[in-house]
Structure 1
Amino acid sequence: MNIETKKSDLLATYYFRHATKEFNPTRKISDEDFRFILEAGRLSPSSGGNEPWKFVIVQSSEFRNELAPLVSGAIRSLPTSSHFVIILARKGLTYDSSYILEQQTLIKGMPLEVFKSMQQAYAQFYDDLHLDTERTLLDWSSKQTYLAMGNMMTAAAHIGIDSCPIEGFEMDAVNELLEKKGLLENGQFGLSVMTAFGYRSKEPARAKSRRPLEDIIQFV
């Protein structure tokens, strides 16, 4: 496949994708296709390669019913989607946390002495970004989950599967529900965003619209 075909195929994927508010409840995503979508999330970039996320796939009808009154932004998508994903962000990722140590040395293969030698640089990075409170650390992790979500939605669209990102939810109440079910791993995670996946019940009413490229770019 030549580069022009690759570009054309990818742009077609972006034109196909739209925020699907209601799905066809009779069509289900195959296990193979959904694993492909999850793999796109797993392979997504993150600051320092620290992968500060967890994907909770809500397939239980009982769990969905409990979630429904707390998720105003998914009134139609939650009950009709084939797969509903809650994306959690890892909390407390200080540069000297045990998770960062494990991630950098065991997962990424950085020699321990190299990791230790970089502590001052890590400390400066955190200071520059004002990553000094529980809230700023969670916000930093949460920003990165959106990279994974975007890649998952693009991967889905690339194989003809629809999606919808969801931010309309009661943060505290959903966190309480997730904690009750043991999904936050004793406070290690917090709710970031949700995404519904499935097949559209009807075609979009309008063609995709965006500002012209000239309105949003500036070369300096």
Structure 2
Amino acid sequence: MEIEEKKTDLLSTFNFRHATKEFDPVKKISDENFQFILEAGRLSPSSGGNEPWRFVIAQSEELRRELAPLVYGAMRSLPTSSHFVILLARKGLTYEAPYLIQHQTQVKGVPVEVYESMKQAYVQFYKDLHLDTERALLDWSSKQTYLAMANMMTAAAHIGIDSCPIEGFDMDAVNALLDKKGLLGDDEFGLSVMTAFGYRSRMPARSKTRRPMEDLVQFV
């Protein structure tokens, strides 16, 4: 495929995607296609390549029923979506965090001595970004889950599957429910954002609207 065709193809994907509030409850995403969507999330970029996320797929009727009164932003999408993804953000990713040490030295293959030599750079990085509280660290991880979510939604749109990002929920209540279900590990994760996937039940009422480029971009 030539570069112009690639650009047209990708922009068509972005134009296809819209925030689908209600899905066709009968039409389901195949396992193969959903694995493709998840792979787009898994391959997403993250700060330091630390992958500070976990994807919980809420497919059981029981979990969806318990979530329903807590997720007011998904009143129509939760019960009708084919797949409903809860993105969790990893807590406490300091230089000394066991997960970070294991991830850098075992998953990414950084020699232990090299990792240890990076301590001062990490300290400065955390200082510059004001990552000095548990909340700040969780917010930092949560920001990165949005990269994975965006890539998953784009991958879905690329193969004709709809999605809707969801932030309208009772954070404390959902975290408590997920903790009760044993889905947050040993207080390792916190809720970040949710995404519903499926097939639209109707066409959008209007075409995509965006501000003009000149309102958004400034070359200096």
Which bin holds the TM-score, normalised by the shorter protein?
A: over 0.9
Question: What's 1:68 paired with?
Answer: 68
- Matched pairs, number: 220
User: How far off is 1:3 after superposition?
Assistant: 0.5
CA distance in 1, matches of 2:53, 2:148: 9
Identical positions, percent: 77
User: How far off is 1:97 after superposition?
Assistant: 1.0
User: How far off is 1:133 after superposition?
Assistant: 0.5
Question: What's 1:148 paired with?
Answer: 148
Instruction: Kindly provide the amino acid, as one letter, of the partner of residue 6 in structure 1.
Output: K
User: How far off is 1:100 after superposition?
Assistant: 0.9
Instruction: Kindly provide the amino acid, as one letter, of the partner of residue 115 in structure 2.
Output: F
Moved over 6 A (4+): none
User: How far off is 1:170 after superposition?
Assistant: 0.2
Instruction: Kindly provide the amino acid, as one letter, of the partner of residue 54 in structure 1.
Output: R
Question: What's 1:85 paired with?
Answer: 85
Question: What's 1:37 paired with?
Answer: 37
1:46-96: per-residue Cα shift (whole Å, max 9, x none)? Answer: 000000000000000111000000000000000000000000000000122
CA distance in 2, matches of 1:61, 1:123: 45
User: How far off is 1:132 after superposition?
Assistant: 0.8
Q: Which runs of 5+ in 1 are unaligned?
A: none
User: How far off is 1:186 after superposition?
Assistant: 1.7
Question: What's 2:116 paired with?
Answer: 116
User: How far off is 1:109 after superposition?
Assistant: 0.6
Q: Is the 8 A contact 1:164 1:197 kept in 2?
A: yes
User: How far off is 1:12 after superposition?
Assistant: 0.1
User: How far off is 1:167 after superposition?
Assistant: 0.2
CA distance in 1, matches of 2:79, 2:17: 20
Q: Which runs of 5+ in 2 are unaligned?
A: none
Q: Is the 8 A contact 1:95 1:126 kept in 2?
A: no
CA RMSD of aligned residues (A): 0.4
TM-score by length of structure 2 reads 0.99
1:142-200: per-residue Cα shift (whole Å, max 9, x none)? Answer: 00000000000000000000000000000000000000000000210000000000000
Question: What's 1:53 paired with?
Answer: 53
CA distance in 2, matches of 1:72, 1:178: 17
Partner-residue secondary structure (3-state), 2:201: coil
CA distance in 2, matches of 1:111, 1:184: 29
CA distance in 2, matches of 1:96, 1:188: 14
TM-score by length of structure 1 reads 0.99
CA distance in 1, matches of 2:98, 2:179: 22
Partner-residue secondary structure (3-state), 2:196: strand
1:204 aligns with 2:204: yes
